[in-house]
Chains A and B, each alone.
Chain A
Amino acid sequence: MNRRTVLAMVTGALLLSACTGTGGSSQGAEAKAADDPSKVSGTITVLTHRTDLVQDGTMAKYATEFNKTYPKVKVEFDAITDYEGEVKIRMNTENYGDVLMIPAVIEKKDYPKFFASLGTQAERSKKYRFTDYTTVDGKVYGQSPLGAVPGFIYNKKVWQEAGITDWPTTPAGFLDDLKAIKSKTDAIPYYTNFKDMWPLTQWTDVNGSVSCDEQATTRLAEGDPWADGADLRTADTLLYDIVREGLVEKDPTTTNWEASKPRIAKGEIATMWLGSWAVIQMQGAAKQAGADPDDIGFMPFPAQKNGTFCAVAKPDYNQAVNIHSEHKEAARAWIDWFTDKSGYAADNLALSPLKEAPLPDVLKPYEEQGVKILDLDDALGAEVKSIDNQSEIGIYKPDYRQDLVDLARGATKGSLDDFLNGLGEKWTETQKSLGS
């Protein structure tokens, strides 16, 4: 062996060992709430995905409000456009802000390594929604500042024009309504947002609405999500039928999310499956396009259990305290204030994370129609995620639904039953191999 090869090998070995080293972790720290707000001090950095709110100064206004209670804390915002991608990489270091939204990619079991605990679930769940989404071993690691309810955004005027007055109560009824819209109006009955992908993933949020079961997530972890009559099968079948019947836009491969907002506001599109969070955006688009914001309606998934609709409350990003933060008290103060007192949820017409808070205006029709709002038990949420990743099905990713839409419009060959049963098989096999 000559000198050069030896040198190359040594360099290689050094690089290998140097690059894959992992930092030590300080597990189990707690971010306690301070007793006296005037004594909390320090500069904290808040990582946020809401680049729009940082740019238009809304976040700065919240910070000013916050300083009235906590005068010695200086809040700085770090708005990140590609939030998931960037924060994931930053979390390989210790430098990922003091307060941050927990990226979806972080596994629940790793929460104690990355974040400081906010308290026990037993105590926090009395006051807050969504605690079990971030609970590990009885301790809560994050809190969502707002919640959303998935549902169909629809243009009331178009639906009325087609002669529909009541919300459909079955998938078949929903299809009939879309057909009526197609024949009686010029609107596209349903817009898939196929190209932008993430709107398709929202269909997974149907889970729970059909069975009206708070244990819907548990059943994903333990059963076959595409078994006959299961929530996801019902949802996927409805989407398939909508596309199959030609009730969607002509060319799904070139859809445009931003352009879809004014189009639904103006009544060129009748319906989209999104969530209550989208109402404010559509209303904004309506104002800009000179249409009536009140035309934007919101309805639950067309399925009833014992005569009532059910809708699921979903958290947004959960805010958490960096375990390496030097100002954990200040960080905790921000989260508490932002969740309880900022009015952030109300400003976004969203569901409040506080259990006692009234429903937002957007959901008033739900109250009138007696729609039941469910808080899903997320104790096995981590298991569902790992089955999902391991099987590469991706119920929270767009791929399999894009395949479903391709199948429905005949771009690929095959039957719906084979497709869904194949997914179910893959899912249950992975379940077994993971031993859950």
Chain B
Amino acid sequence: MTDTTTEKAAATAPTGAVGAAPEPAPAPRTARLRRGATPWLFLLAPLALLLTFTYAPIANMVAYSFTDWDGVSPELHYTGAENYAELFTRSDLFEVFWVSGYYLAASVFQIVAALYFATILSFNVRFRNFFKGVLFFPYLINGVAIGMVFLYFFQDGGTLDAVLGLFGVETDRAWLGTPESANTSLAAVSVWRYLGLNFVLFLGAIQSIPGELYEAAELDGAGRWHQFRYIIAPGIKPVLSLTVILSISGSLSVFEIPYIMTGGATGTETFVIQTVKLAFQFNKTGLASAAAVVLLLIVLAVTWVQRRLVPDDKVDLA
């Protein structure tokens, strides 16, 4: 349920640090010029990549959102804000966001579970590295493969039914058969897949907390729960809020798993699947671009609201 956009943000991070270097005594003009240009030369490659592969396509998409382009025709007409007007006057296009509710609920469960496992495995537990691997492994599998695997898993008489049968439970239900059941099943797959990522983020944050703190806490007579409540929880707050943002934006833009497993049938269509269908089935590339822009704005707005509600203040454990 998360995205990998973080690495793009990391690429631009060094800019501030380099630009802020204090100027020494005035040097000859060429030397000064060279010194000024050096950081930019270093930045040339990452910036070129960033512009070509992130900002240019986005600019392109924004441009298309104001046209009636069908995706192939050499002709396109500027239609102004018509696509946006259509998007906001057709309620059926936004109804699909209800489906995101399933994934949102699932991501709450996912964060709690990841936090639980990360906390437990940060203490000295037997086979902890093995369990770390087990939890993280699903995240390494390609999304398409996961879709295929779980299709067999949920099949009539498939893995799930067989396993339940071992315990004497004969459900005889079509797991992807009704909208509720299908969405719940798909959200569960999503939890299975992304739990590992959240878990690793939490584990990393927990392990960056200095060990003396635990020792001191133990000397003061704090138990595991108190250690979690007063040391770990405040210590990982920034990572926690990052995870929440990623989960919300992830829930709004679910795509891979439902697209491969059900193709959006039986009430499992998400906003992104709908956008893809508009663009590539009904050749409304203009409208689909507008939908994508709107989704981007919604995710930005949610992030902004979340940052206002839970400000990212500096944590000081000492």
**Using a CB–CB distance below 8 Å, which chain A residues touch chain B?**
11-12, 15-16, 19-20, 22-23, 25, 85, 88, 91-92, 103, 105-107, 110, 113, 194-195, 197, 249-254, 389-390, 392, 394, 397-399, 402-403, 406, 409, 411-412
Contact = CB atoms under 8 A, between A and B. Distances in A.
20 contacts: A15-B59, A15-B60, A16-B59, A20-B60, A20-B67, A22-B76, A23-B74, A25-B74, A88-B71, A251-B156, A251-B177, A253-B262, A254-B156, A389-B283, A390-B282, A394-B281, A394-B282, A397-B282, A399-B277, A411-B266
A139 to B, nearest CB: 18
A194 B265 contact: yes
A15 B50 CA distance: 13
Interface centre among A106, A107, A253, by most chain B C-beta atoms within 10 angstroms, is A253
Interface residues of B, number: 40
A251 B155 contact: yes
Interface string B46-72: 000001000110011011100100111
Given A15-B60, A253-B174, A394-B282, A402 B156 contact: no
A20 B70 contact: no
Nearest to A394: B281
Contact of B74 (A110, A398, A406, A411): A110
Contacts of A91: 72
A105 B71 contact: yes
B73 interface: yes
Interface in B276-295: 277-278, 280-284
B74 A254 contact: no
A253 B176 contact: yes
Contacts of A197: 263, 265
Contacts of B67: 20
Contacts of B282: 389-390, 392, 394, 397
Contacts of A19: 56, 59-60, 63
B154 interface: yes
B63 A22 contact: no
Given A254-B158, A406-B266, 12 more contacts: A16-B60, A20-B63, A194-B265, A195-B151, A195-B263, A197-B263, A250-B156, A251-B177, A253-B174, A254-B151, A389-B283, A411-B179
Given A19-B56, A253-B176, A254-B154, A402 B265 contact: yes
Contact of B280 (A85, A113, A253): A85
Interface centre among B63, B67, B282, by most chain A C-beta atoms within 10 angstroms, is B282
B79 interface: no
Q: Give the dominant DSSP class at B's interface.
A: loop
A253 B182 contact: yes
A198 to B, nearest CB: 10
A15 B174 contact: no
A107 B266 contact: no
Interface centre among B64, B71, B158, by most chain A C-beta atoms within 10 angstroms, is B71
B178 interface: yes
B51 A389 contact: no
A15 B283 contact: no
B56 A253 contact: no
B267 interface: yes
Contacts of B182: 253
| Ranked 5 nearest A-B pairs via Cβ | A251-B156, A253-B176, A251-B174, A15-B59, A19-B60
A138 B178 CA distance: 50
A111 B148 CA distance: 38
A79 to B, nearest CB: 21
Nearest to A396: B281
Interface string B251-284: 0000000000011111100000000011011111
A323 to B, nearest CB: 11
B73 A389 contact: no
